[in-house]
């Protein structure tokens, strides 16, 4: 059981919008930055969002994120076929004194 809770799957048609939630607690999301990763099978994970809502250079602005209290969300707008991947949220946990990941959400483009 992951410390951060994500839905196991999400799906939408091309061009539409997908929202992935990440639920945590006061010792992680509410106190520390949330980061999001995209992981395609057979490749290394890719940092998609850091510091709650910042995009590294090269990440399309179709990807956006936000936090509120003990929850965070990743939004993929204008969904494209190449967005089909697993998405993970992650944050530092002050109680556990280590990084915690969500269980991952598999996004399917219908």
Contact between 38 and other proteins by CB under 8 A: the answer reads no
User: Looking at 27, 72, 91, 107, which residue binds other proteins (CB under 8 A)?
Assistant: 91
Q: Which is closer to other proteins, CB of 2 or CB of 73?
A: 2
Interface stretch with other proteins, choices 12-20, 45-53, 62-70, 75-83 (CB under 8 A): 45-53
What count of Cα atoms within 13 Å lies in the side-chain half-sphere of residue 22? Answer: 31
CB 64 to other proteins: min, Å: 16
CB contact at 8 A, 65 and 47:
no
CB contact at 8 A, 81 and 40:
no
Q: Tell me which residues touch other proteins (CB under 8 A).
A: 2, 32-33, 35, 37, 39, 43-47, 50-51, 56, 86, 88, 90-92, 96-104
């Amino acid at each position: 059981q992951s410390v951060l809770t994500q839905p196991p799957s999400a799906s939408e048609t091309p061009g539409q919008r997908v929202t992935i939630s990440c639920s945590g607690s006061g010792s992680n999301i509410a106190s520390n930055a949330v980061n999001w990763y995209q992981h395609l099978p057979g490749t290394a994970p890719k940092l998609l969002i850091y510091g709650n809502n910042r995009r590294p250079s090269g990440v399309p602005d179709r990807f956006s994120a936000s936090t509120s209290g003990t929850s965070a969300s990743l939004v993929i707008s204008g969904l494209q076929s190449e967005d089909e991947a697993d998405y993970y949220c992650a944050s530092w946990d002050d109680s556990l004194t280590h990084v915690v990941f969500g269980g991952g959400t598999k996004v399917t483009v219908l």
